[in-house]
């Protein structure tokens, strides 16, 4: 799988997932025991490596990741029609907000389906 290197000062999209550099974690961030940063309705999850993952209680559309070392890889786990793996060059402690795109439906706002 091709890896695309990105600097850590921009907004990057991988399918329906946006990765946004932020200054710090929110005070109510809760550490998670998973490296899945976006679940997919068809089972092709987005996985982040070499980072800690944090959720925000009550906000199912946002997660945060914090770098453990000099890079974070975000991989799209699907054997076909996949997004390129993103490699973020980081310093330990760099933090990114993971935001799922939303779309309007007659029932209200929902996650965009990839």
For Cα atoms 66, 113, 47, give the angle at the middle one, nearest 5 degrees.
30
Query: What is the share, in percent, of the chain residues with pLDDT greater than 90?
Result: 31
Q: What is the pTM assigned to this prediction?
A: 0.76
Q: Which residue has the tokens 């029609």?
A: 81
* Strand locations in 1-114 (E): 3-6, 11-14, 17-22, 30-31, 36-38, 46-49, 51-55, 62-67, 71-76, 85-89, 95-100, 102-105, 108-111
Mean pLDDT, rounded, for 102-114: 59
Q: Which residues of 75-110 are buried (b: 16+ CB within 10 A; e: fewer)?
A: bbebeeeebebbbbebeeebbbbbbbeeeeeeeeee
Query: What is the share, in percent, of the chain residues with pLDDT greater than 70?
Result: 67
**Domain coordinates in residue numbering, the chain:** 3-103
Q: What is the pLDDT of residues 76-103, one digit of tens each?
A: 776 666 667 888 888 999 999 988 765 5
């Amino acid at each position: 799988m091709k890896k695309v290197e990105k600097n850590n000062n921009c907004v990057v999209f991988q399918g329906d997932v946006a990765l946004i550099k932020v200054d710090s974690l929110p005070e109510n961030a809760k550490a998670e025991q998973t490296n899945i940063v976006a679940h997919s309705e068809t089972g092709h999850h987005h996985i982040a490596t070499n980072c800690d993952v944090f959720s925000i209680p009550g906000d199912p559309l946002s997660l945060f990741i914090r770098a453990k070392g000099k890079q974070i890889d975000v991989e799209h786990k699907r054997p076909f029609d996949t997004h390129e793996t993103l490699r973020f060059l980081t310093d330990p402690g760099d933090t990114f907000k993971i935001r799922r795109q939303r779309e309007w439906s007659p029932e209200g706002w929902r996650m965009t389906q990839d």
